[in-house]
Chain A
Amino acid sequence: MNNEYVVRMKNITKSFGQVKALDHVEFSLKKGEVHAILGENGAGKSSLMNVLSGIYMPDSGSIEIKGETVRIPSPKSALSLGIGMLPQHYKLVDVFTALENVAAGSQKITPLINRKKILDDMGELNKSFGMDIDLNKRVSEMSVAEKQSLEIFKVLYRGADILILDEPTAVLTPQEIDNLFCIIKKMVSNGCSVIIITHKLEEVMTISDRITIMRKGQTVETVNKDETDAQELAGLMVGDVMELDIPFAVVERGKKSLEVKDITAYDRNKVAVLNHVSFDIYEGEILGVAGIAGSGQKELCEGIAGLYTLKSGQILFNGENILGKNPEAIHDLGISLSFVPEDRLGMGLVSSMDIIDNVLLKDYRSTKGLTISKTRSREKAEKLVEKLNVVTPAIENHAVSLLSGGNIQKVLLGREIQLNPKLLITAYATRGLDVGSSQIIYELLNDQKRKLKPILYVGEDLDVLMSLCDRILVLCEGQVTGIVNPRETTKEAIGLLMSGVKEEGERSCTIS
């Protein structure tokens, strides 16, 4: 009976610094099943799988593979136990053919490459899993789906019978997803067991046998597919509504400030990352944006700020179209737009510079002449540090990267607010911050709202979004699946909208 389980992970804990990524997690995989792991971002899905595939070593807990307790110190030893993980970002050599990619690094290969034998082996494997890989095709000529099949093939060729697929459908078209599911079914009938990480409820219901739901580093529950439905899963995924101490500022909203009409954008692979998105923001309003990571939030923010190329549509700011204008041009129009990007140290700030220089970044252009003057930036930096209680040994000659996450964000947000912008866009403003720092950030945003500023707040914690925002726009795969009033809807309803279950979501939400 014990042999029925190919993987048993007990009591797994893993911390990064003070953050507990995994907190006494339990997980088991039966032979021949497809097991979905479901959860929001940061729930610990990927961390758990990284532990299983030897990328992370757990701080505590035990792992049994096929009935034996094991230690998995590296991906290589994971593979020797039959565990193969498909990376989210494919690791293929572009200039190699499919065959060469599979052969490279495979232990079955002798110093001299016997092309014929490999081809025969691979051909057989290709057939038995119903894959359709042209082994002589170069990776650079492959589509995303083909690359993915090749990655799966590579893992299978190396003898894995426990496969971990990390968000495999995120980059695929619906037909390609069907095809992938066929391959998964073939794998299972060939004796493999499959773990699939995802957040799309429909797919979970289609492909999996059992589902483990994770939230905030813990396993919430493991359920059989047949005994549940999307509604219940969404509820488990987002959790109960928590009472948060975030005051909602009651403000009489002013006139319409920003109007986004029908914008569309594509990524490098020509996949639509924003698909006919329309909404508006009023003065004195916080418009929240909810959605699973990578649903188009980044492109939306950067698109408005003039940093991401939008293909069509209009962005009207007080009646003026700013679409297609770069930040310099937007600034020159006299539109002060402040954007607090998700990547604080990589975009919002220069990590190696001190606070004064980082304040100067947004200030140096306002003085005339060819030289910079730090006098005013120094004053502003001093004021910022004092007002927001930034903990730093010095504002000069002390790189901002040496500050704690909360203080870095205070510097960034503080700088943007000091500019007295006409529109404030924040992306994941409290990500990685502790409760105290987060509270300060929420207070700052509410202050701005009271000053009748329009604010776009991209967030990931639904509880926060629901307490803080006037309205919430839900994005799913680049599409707006709903704009809801958080005080007239439920968390589950938003969870469903986030997962793209539009019809059901709309029934339980009122669109304002």
Chain B
Amino acid sequence: MYHIIKRDEPSPRQKLIIRILFVLAALAVSSIFVVFADANPLQLYIGIIDGCFGSLYRFAATIEKMVPLMILSFGVMVAFKMRFWNIGAEGQFLMGAAGAAAVVRFFPNLPLPAMLLFTALAAFAAGAIWLLIPAFFKAQFGTNETLFTLMLNYIALAFVTALQYDFWKDPAANGMPKIANFPENAQLPASHGFNLSILFAILIIVAMYYFMNRSKIGFEITVLGESENTARYIGINVKKTILTAAVISGGLCGLVGMIQATGVSGTLTTEITGGLGFTAIIVAWLSGLKVPYIVINSFAFGVLLQGASYIQTAFQIPGSVAEMIQGTILFFILASEFLIQYRVVSDRHKEEVA
């Protein structure tokens, strides 16, 4: 029989080497799919790099894919730091987008700066409320937040579907179930392909770094996550801290809804999230819930996403192949995390040691 044993913490250098080896292995395995799709793997991989960094516009597209993922990961991080398993980033994202869309719909003539401010606030509030619901029940009655936040995703999706297919359906769209595109004054300004969200992102990186490392609330959230008993012992108000963290976590995820709706898709749709709310969980976790690593890993994911979409058009390979490459790399990275923390030992070996 084989046993799995926790290993001693490897040095950062060893970790880096293990990860690079696994990414290379992932590329090797992906090559098999690529060959079956009648493409040259090496050319394709170079194509990915080219698609992400080949020109200023391509780089802007990479950043555009990174920013929402990064902010979502920050949102997830705040909750996870408290051991509050917010699996509902997807739903908070959708509700945030709906909140922004509501501002656009009901106050269509606001000047651009006011429009951006109010859509952002509405999106933040909508996301925050969407997480406050499970957080309230957790604080008050000790309900399990994992299932609760997960299920709220589907409610959010049903809600946005109802808006798109019925209540807010654009009558001018010839029966197409879509919400009217946002007017000019509700589009994030852009230049050379970079939209204003990059500014948001930089501000949020700095704010989150300080929040997690220097603020009292961040400290309290960390303590509460490590041990509720200690938190109570030093006099932290547990309920208040849970609710505060929920506002920040849900609010950040909601804010992404505004960025995507006003900056990328130009309106509210049910497909606006692209599953990023779930990917963010992986990013936050892989980054050990640390701000700098989230920035790096979100960028890496941005490269994967942009590279995949570029090679589809450039090499005329099916989208599913690009997705398989993404999936394989992700799978291998997760496997490497496992091997960084544990090692497999056979019984025979163990007895020899004993």
Instruction: Report if A361-B216 is in contact (Cβ < 8 Å); known contacts: A328-B235, A331-B235, A350-B223.
Output: no
A389 to chain B, nearest CB (A): 25
A112 close to B (CB within 8 Å): no
B232 close to A (CB within 8 Å): yes
B221 to chain A, nearest CB (A): 12
A372 touches B234 (CB 8 A): no
From A306, which residue of chain B is reached at the shortest CB distance? B235
A372 to B219, CA, bound (A): 8
Interface size class for chain B? Answer: 10 to 19
From A339, which residue of chain B is reached at the shortest CB distance? B233
B351 to chain A, nearest CB (A): 13
Q: Summarize B's interface: helix, strand, loop or mixed.
A: helix
Residue from the list B215, B227, B236 in contact with A372, Cβ < 8 A: B215
Interface size class for chain A? Answer: 20 to 34
A343 close to B (CB within 8 Å): yes
B109 close to A (CB within 8 Å): no
B217 close to A (CB within 8 Å): yes
A187 to B136, CA, bound (A): 52
A362 to B210, CA, bound (A): 21
A390 to B152, CA, bound (A): 50
Instruction: Report if A347-B235 is in contact (Cβ < 8 Å); known contacts: A364-B219, A372-B214.
Output: no
Residue from the list B215, B226, B230, B235 in contact with A371, Cβ < 8 A: B215
B229 close to A (CB within 8 Å): yes
A304-346 near B? 1/0 per residue, CB < 8 Å: 0101000000000000000000111011000000010101001
A4-16 near B? 1/0 per residue, CB < 8 Å: 0000000000000
A352 to B223, CA, bound (A): 10
Residue from the list B210, B216, B227, B236 in contact with A346, Cβ < 8 A: B227
A489 to B235, CA, bound (A): 40
Residue from the list A307, A350, A360, A364 in contact with B227, Cβ < 8 A: A350
B281 to chain A, nearest CB (A): 21
A482 close to B (CB within 8 Å): no
A348 touches B230 (CB 8 A): yes
B237 close to A (CB within 8 Å): yes
A362-408 contacts to B (CB < 8 Å): 362, 364-365, 370-372
A328 to B230, CA, bound (A): 13
B234 touches A362 (CB 8 A): yes
From A371, which residue of chain B is reached at the shortest CB distance? B214
A171 close to B (CB within 8 Å): no
Residue from the list A307, A327, A343, A353 in contact with B226, Cβ < 8 A: A353
From A357, which residue of chain B is reached at the shortest CB distance? B219
Chain B contact residues, CB within 8 Å of chain A: 210, 214-217, 219, 223, 226-227, 229-230, 232-237
Chain A contact residues, CB within 8 Å of chain B: 305, 307, 326-328, 330-331, 339, 341, 343, 346-353, 360-362, 364-365, 370-372
Q: List 9 A-B contacts (CB under 8 A).
A: A307-B233, A328-B235, A328-B237, A331-B235, A346-B230, A349-B230, A360-B219, A370-B216, A372-B216
